[in-house]
Structure 1
Amino acid sequence: MSLDITRGGLLVALAIFGVIIYELRTVLDFVGIELPLIPYMAAVFALAGVTIWFITLKGGWRLEPDGDESA
């Protein structure tokens, strides 16, 4: 299976994922379950690092589109 990922797409996906997790943390805080911020931030950065490492192992970034040559 080939997964074609651009850097911008990855950054947007990580930003959306990070915001969703942060909002879940906020809801849990409202309910009464307090979670510290530092482990949350460390987990988001670790997820970003693992994702970039995985993409590098699978062949790297797509730099130019294939087959879209201009006349």
Structure 2
Amino acid sequence: MNWMHQLRYFFEKYGFEVSSRFAERLGMKAKNVRLFFIYVSFATFGAWFAVYLTLALLLQLKDLIYTKRSSVYDL
């Protein structure tokens, strides 16, 4: 049971917050976006899970490239 909690904690911490960031952009609740990904993943046999992972990767890359710096000396 302990490994299940560790796995859940890992995905909650390092999940890149794809659903919440996508929901914020669309003006929706993150719960609804998560449910959409879950239902569509079951309906399409996991193809939307690949879309979710792709969105997570793109958001992570965007955060790495477009970091906000407060001054020119932060380089």
TM range (shorter): 0.3 to 0.5
What's the TM-score once normalised by structure 1's chain length? 0.41
Q: More relative contact order in 1 or in 2 (CA 8 Å, sep 6+)?
A: 1
**If you compute each CA radius of gyration, which structure gives the higher value, 1 or 2?**
1
What's the TM-score once normalised by structure 2's chain length? 0.39
